[in-house]
Structure 1
């Protein structure tokens, strides 16, 4: 084993440890503060709903131009899902900013 392989292995171990710590501390906070946990779970649930809707409306059609990249219908559907989810979330973010700014103007 050369030095680069050892460095990559150590990096993987550190990333796994950090991910494990994030999950552990998140669970600990959810147990300590159940009201905040509900809000977090609602947010995660909303994201899951958006992803499911995005998957359901995504097309699995493989165009002839995709053939040279060996893309199958499943990959095309997942890419479509990702694009749809991005569009939904981006539009939601823009509308939220607009609502917040106009809400401030009309409250004054």
Structure 2
């Protein structure tokens, strides 16, 4: 059997189990919810393990140079975003008055995450538009 078919079958089975558990949680008591949460943690662990296994398998069998270049570009975007974020462009006093304990470091991390999100969103939208335009022009 093809690995792709096995993954599809496992994903479909997990989706059905997830739907059943969600319905049980919505209609069940707290004791049942605790037991379902343990099952959910086990399923989540299984899914994460499968993802890690197949990602590592893809790295070994695929084009590792292209993968490393993509990871490097992603890390470059993260580091540049962190460098651009100041952490001092927001008045932290209202947050600290509410007892949230926001520091400049936390503000800098949030700003870096926002900058990285914006850059990655623009890249994703641009690549979708580029692919669509290229597909239309090649017809």
Structure 2 CA distance for aligned equivalents of residues 89 and 15 of structure 1: 27
1:60 counterpart = 2:123: no
Correspondence for 1:25: 54
SS in 2 for 1:2: helix
Structure 1: gaps of 5 or more residues: none
Moved more, 62-71 or 46-55: 62-71
Correspondence for 1:48: 75
Structure 2: gaps of 5 or more residues: 1-29
Correspondence for 2:123: 92
Structure 1 CA distance for aligned equivalents of residues 49 and 135 of structure 2: 40
Correspondence for 2:112: 81
After TM superposition, give the deviation of residue 40 of structure 1 in Å. Answer: 2.0
Structure 2 CA distance for aligned equivalents of residues 81 and 15 of structure 1: 29
Moved more, 2-11 or 92-101: 92-101
Structure 2 CA distance for aligned equivalents of residues 94 and 32 of structure 1: 29
Count of residue pairs brought into register by the alignment: 105
Q: Alignment partner for residue 103 of structure 2, among 55, 60, 72?
A: 72
**1:76-101: CA deviation from partner (whole Å, max 9, x where unpaired):** 11110111011112233344455553
Aligned-residue Cα RMSD (Å) equals 2.6
SS in 2 for 1:59: coil
Q: Alignment partner for residue 45 of structure 2, among 7, 16, 20?
A: 16
Structure number with greater CO (CA < 8 Å, separation at least 6) is 1
